[in-house]
Chain A
């Protein structure tokens, strides 16, 4: 390989590694700030100031949804810690028990008051017949 070409190849890799290195440093310093939401365990450990607006994400505990008019109460869990959530409004269609949920709101006196509620979809796609069979097994 020509010497000049070799030098250019080196320059190429230097650009690539500098760019990768710089971006990795940024990502490592931002670390968990890049997460969209806290899990219940993380939120309880993080000692969030009252009245501080955050997002909490987890699974809707099975059998925990209680409706009263437009008010919805349920428990968000990561199977380690649980947080009761209260929400007033219309949740998305995919909001249901044993399914992922992300809520935006405030954590006050052991109760999460949600302003907005998002349903998280998992990576599984299957027709309804198969889904019923899977549930029976």
Chain B
């Protein structure tokens, strides 16, 4: 049952076709929500009682690091599909998601540093949260480097998937680092169970920015995976018919 479902939706051909119709809607929702969230957050949300205006980096930083972790988690699910069900599409998706993950992790680290200078008085400390996020960034780069290291692409796909699985252990560590160890980074302000220690006047634009960045990144992922798939399968009959 599961296998039938997986094989039906995992052909690169149907992926390229379905995402072509989905892409305009996703990028429209993503960018418009991102604009609403950022304009609201940067211009209309009130100042913070303690930090003044510098807290507004939250509207970039928090969405960025949330997706830095979620993209890796998505890649780990793809690695499961590739290693167990030998789904080729899953490997293609890992390969195209990794640069986006690396980019958004870098944005998360960089925006955190920019916020750290006025708030903490330092742009970098080797605390558990910051260090584990740096490891995530290096994992993304390592995954890409490993994939580029073999001339046999099937072998590259498999080894890359194994590396993704090894690295997924880091994701819960990043999440729990602020609870397990003493860190300079503050504990989470929003919990999955619905609690929040952010005032609603700042929380709503933040949530809109998070959803907006999510859709934007999915759209970017569609762009990058479509071009990768067409390039990778360029000798297949369906590609020459499609293009």
Contact = CB atoms under 8 A, between A and B. Distances in A.
A126 B183 contact: no
B119 interface: yes
B84 A9 contact: yes
Contacts of A37: 182
Interface in B198-230: 198-199, 201-202
B184 interface: yes
A120 B129 CA distance: 14
Contact of A12 (B50, B83, B120, B122): B83
A108 to B, nearest CB: 22
Contacts of B184: 36, 102, 118, 120
Interface string B1-44: 00100000000000000000000000000000000000000000
Interface in A55-100: 57, 91-95, 99
Interface string B74-100: 000000100111100000000000000
Contact of B165 (A19, A57, A99, A123): A19
Contacts of B148: none
B46 A128 contact: yes
Interface stretch (B63-71, B102-110, B166-174, B235-243): B166-174
Chain A contact residues: helix, strand, loop or mixed: mixed
A125 B162 contact: no
A11 B162 CA distance: 10
Contacts of A132: 49
A15 B236 CA distance: 33
Interface in A1-20: 1-2, 5, 8-9, 11-12, 15-16, 19-20
A130 interface: yes
A35 interface: yes
B128 A126 contact: no
A123 B84 contact: no
B152 to A, nearest CB: 19
B55 interface: yes
A1 B3 CA distance: 8
Given A92-B120, A123-B189, A127-B49, 4 more contacts: A9-B84, A16-B165, A95-B121, A127-B199
What are the 8 closest A-B residue pairs judged by CB atoms, nearest first? A92-B121, A131-B49, A127-B46, A36-B127, A126-B199, A125-B198, A35-B182, A19-B166
Interface of A: 1-2, 5, 8-9, 11-12, 15-16, 19-20, 23, 27, 32, 34-37, 39, 57, 91-95, 99, 102, 116-132
